[in-house]
């Protein structure tokens, strides 16, 4: 069981994952196996700032309630442990299997020359594997499996491509350039091609996803570390983008987003590092975003990914507030005192509304300008897609983060903040025009650390 006594500090997120102590950054090696979601993460076991890169490890049955386990990858003579991914080797292509479990393999960057023991070494790609379902790990004696291609090539994302019966890796090279490789066994790799992504670096992700509502139409999605993505096609040898690079999140704190392999029901679940948050006086530093489910949907602008919180958040629901048909015209609507300030809120704004609508939550201001069709928050502005119905808004609020989702998740903002006060009011106001809110549902949440 999790000892929750250390998880109630003033600025500790209550339903976003944080390391029990010290620094955390990129999510790594996300996989699901036998009812458990595994989350690995870049971790400094010895301090609150970046350094000594090690893979931390946590598990959850539901993506909400996490238990941190002992670290799994520690620095060695090849370097410190930079980011990577994980796969379940169902067909034992690696021949690592030793019992009833298929091998589970971590593919990671050994960052040479980042520690005294690795002085003079290059950045290379390596393997570690588990034969007991993901709880104990050993590094492959034949590491590295991919030699240095560019001086700081890193962050391998690997998937199984069934039609070609090959493992496919996408890897950050340098600048705005990434590469693709293939392998029959995760141990020997052949180059395929390179990919250019403007204004994008690090931590690529790559996966196939079906169009929502269609089981026989799918596309491939490639995502960069900043969440920008291409939608395209892949034949086992070449990924061909069919869109421009699309912004995946407009917030200031979304980075190194990765998705789960082998998630049940074909779900595509994404977690990001909420880079740049501040937690003064806390024994931990940095947090993960709340897990979101990605869907491929058709829009007036073409195919897009939608991104919404996973349904498992409902395990934290404790009290519901509901209001309907709220007219706003140069006036405001204030909710009653909200117990612990943990919120999952949603509303629908009638399409005939016009003007500017402002949400003020924990001192944070989100403005919807229905005339210009934009959302503004923390100095960032996002466009709204053409609307044919009500504008749907959803906001998650934790002690030090606010995640906004609009238009069924086609627009999202991932952001951190420091609260003005412990439990300030939640106010909705019309700054101009006439706003009609069709319905307004707010759930107060319990803490994931007390269940």
Burial class (CB in 10 A: 0-12, 13-18, 19+), 116: exposed
- Active site annotation includes 249: no
Distance from C-alpha of 392 to C-alpha of 407, rounded to nearest angstrom:
5
Angle at 116 between CA 111 and CA 121, to 5 degrees: 40
Contacts with 214 (C-beta within 8 Å, 6 or more apart), sequence order: none
Number of alpha carbons in the 13 Å side-chain half-sphere of residue 280: 3
Under 8 Å CB-to-CB from 100, ≥6 apart: which residues? none
The Cα–Cα gap between 202 and 196 comes to 12
Contact 322, 441 (CB under 8 A): yes
Instruction: Tell me how far CA of residue 381 lies from CA of 163, 249, 341, 362, 388, in angstroms.
Output: 41, 11, 26, 20, 21
User: Token match 């588990």: residue?
Assistant: 130
SS3 381: strand
**CA 64, CA 245: separation in Å to the nearest integer?**
31
The 3-state DSSP class for residue 8 equals: coil
Q: Nearest to residue 342, comparing CAs of 425, 210, 447?
A: 447
- Separation of alpha carbons 152 and 163, rounded Å: 31
Which of 94, 84, 193, 189 has its CA nearest to residue 147?
189
- Other Cβ atoms within 10 Å of 78 Cβ, number: 21
SS3 350: coil
Strands 218-223 and 80-88: unpaired
Cα–Cα dist 216/381, whole Å: 36
CA dist 207 and 155 (Å) reads 15
Please say whether the beta carbons of 423 and 339 come within 8 A: yes
Catalytic residue among 6, 26, 199, 369: 26
- Cα distance between the two ends of the chain: 10
d(CA 155, CA 162): 22
Catalytic residues: 26
């Amino acid at each position: 069981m999790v000892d929750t006594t250390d998880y109630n500090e003033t600025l500790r997120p209550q339903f976003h994952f944080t390391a029990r102590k010290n620094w955390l950054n990129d999510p790594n090696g996300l996989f699901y196996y036998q009812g458990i979601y595994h989350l690995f993460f870049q971790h400094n076991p010895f301090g609150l700032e970046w350094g000594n890169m090690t893979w931390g490890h946590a598990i959850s049955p539901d993506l909400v309630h996490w238990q941190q386990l002992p670290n799994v990858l520690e620095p060695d003579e090849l370097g410190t442990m930079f980011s990577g991914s994980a796969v379940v080797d169902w067909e034992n292509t690696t021949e690592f299997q030793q019992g009833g479990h298929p091998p589970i393999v971590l593919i990671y960057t050994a960052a040479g020359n980042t520690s005294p023991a690795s002085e003079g070494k290059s950045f290379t790609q390596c393997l570690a594997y588990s034969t007991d379902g993901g709880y104990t790990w050993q590094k492959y004696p034949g590491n590295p499996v991919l030699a240095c291609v560019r001086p700081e090539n890193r962050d391998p994302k690997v998937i199984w491509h069934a039609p070609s019966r090959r493992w496919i890796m996408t890897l950050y090279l340098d600048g705005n350039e990434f590469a693709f490789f293939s392998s029959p066994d995760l141990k020997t790799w052949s180059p395929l091609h390179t990919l250019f992504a403007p204004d994008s670096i690090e931590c690529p992700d790559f996966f196939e996803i079906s169009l929502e509502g269609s089981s026989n139409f799918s596309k491939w999605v490639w995502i960069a570390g900043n969440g920008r993505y291409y939608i395209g096609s892949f034949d086992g040898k070449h990924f061909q983008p069919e869109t421009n690079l699309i912004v995946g999140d407009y917030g200031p704190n979304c980075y190194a987003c990765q998705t789960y392999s082998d998630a049940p029901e074909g779900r595509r679940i994404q977690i990001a590092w909420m880079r740049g948050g501040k937690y003064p006086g806390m024994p931990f530093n940095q947090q993960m975003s709340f897990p979101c489910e990605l869907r491929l949907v058709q829009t007036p602008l073409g195919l897009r990914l939608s991104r919404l919180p996973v349904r498992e958040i409902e395990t934290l629901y404790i009290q519901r507030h509901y209001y309907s048909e709220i007219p706003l015209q140069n006036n405001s609507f204030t909710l009653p005192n909200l117990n612990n300030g943990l919120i999952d809120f949603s509303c629908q704004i009638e399409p005939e509304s016009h003007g500017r609508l402002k949400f003020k939550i924990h001192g944070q201001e989100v403005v919807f300008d229905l005339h210009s069709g934009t959302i503004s928050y923390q100095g960032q502005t996002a466009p709204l897609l053409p609307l044919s119905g009500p504008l749907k808004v959803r906001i998650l609020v934790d002690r030090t983060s606010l995640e906004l989702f609009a238009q069924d998740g086609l627009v999202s903002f991932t952001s951190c903040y420091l609260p003005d006060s412990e439990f300030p009011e939640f106010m909705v106001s019309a700054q101009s025009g006439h706003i009609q809110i069709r319905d307004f549902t707010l759930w107060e949440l319990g803490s994931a650390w007390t269940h």
